[in-house]
Amino acid sequence: MCILAIQYRLVPEAPILVAMNRDERYDRASSVPAIQSGKPRVLCGVDQEAGGTWLGVNQHGLLVAACNRAKSGVSPAPRSRGVLCRELLRCGSAREAVHKAMDELSSNAYAGVNFVCADSESGWVVQAGNDLDAVELEDGLSIVGNLDVNDHRDERGKLARRLLTLQTLDSPVKFLAVASKVFARPAALPDRPSMVVRGSEKGTVSSTLIALGKKPRDAIFQHAGDAPDQARYEDYSPLLRDILSRGLRESRSKAKA
């Protein structure tokens, strides 16, 4: 199961700071982050099996991420949660994405999932386990895994929170530097929670760090194409800055018109 930390509206120059480890089957191929065709422009990796994504940002500054969770009574052939994640990234705002997610997930056509939908105006976690709910993010640090947001029963989430609050992360550079180490932490002892997961068939297959600032030129997107204790984070920031700049130009043109 994936794990995501979002520090929301705590740093004025970067209201959205995110670190996410993706946990998946080792044999499920995915592409590296790239700008996808269509409008609005979206930067995300793509799952080669279903064509969906687990994390992306669009030109409006909307971030959407998916963490799987348990759910009973799932149909034998559920619709892809990753495909829905890509569809949510076509929305113009976090509020629009939340409404679309709630409408889709109420159909019971999907397995369990937590969707994080955030922009500079609002941030939400859509919790779709056996019950369906949308929880607004509070300013500060939130941890999303395979239970409810900030769930005290989530040992991995508690570890992430403890390690990310050992010092004040009051700048994008500091948050990303600390998060890159925290999310690369393997298990210290057997049967203890860890940020990097390794099983026989499933485990941590990639990691992503994102900073969305008030200006496109300040945006950061770093991605490790394997478990981050073994792979380096590569910089995809120019791609993110490109789509955000495009979005800003288009919104200014519409305002003038």
Question: What is the residue extent of each domain of the chain?
Answer: 3-256
Instruction: Give the residue carrying structure tokens 């200014």.
Output: 252
Residue 104: predicted pLDDT: 96
What's the rounded mean pLDDT across residues 59-63?
98
Q: If pLDDT is split at 50, 70 and 90, which confidence band does 26 have?
A: very high
Mean pLDDT (the chain, rounded): 95
Residue 84: predicted pLDDT: 98
Over residues 66-120, the pLDDT tens digits come to: 999 999 988 888 999 999 999 999 999 999 999 999 999 998 899 999 999 999 9
Q: If pLDDT is split at 50, 70 and 90, which confidence band does 251 have?
A: confident
CA separation for the pair 164, 181 (Å, rounded) = 10
- Maximum CA extent, the chain: 61
CA separation for the pair 8, 94 (Å, rounded) = 13
Query: Does position 241 have pLDDT exceeding 80, yes or no?
Result: yes
Over residues 117-175, the pLDDT tens digits come to: 999 999 999 999 999 999 999 999 999 999 999 999 999 999 999 999 999 999 999 99
CA separation for the pair 84, 135 (Å, rounded) = 19
Q: Which CATH architecture has domain 3-256?
A: 4-Layer Sandwich (3.60)
Crossing angle (nearest 10°) for helices 155-164 and 172-182: 140
Residue ranges of alpha helices (H) inside the chain are 81-88, 94-105, 155-164, 172-182, 237-256
Query: Does position 257 have pLDDT exceeding 80, yes or no?
Result: no
Q: How many CB atoms lie within 10 A of CB 187?
A: 13
Yes or no: say if 232 and 225 are a contact pair by the CB < 8 Å rule: no
Residue 107: predicted pLDDT: 86
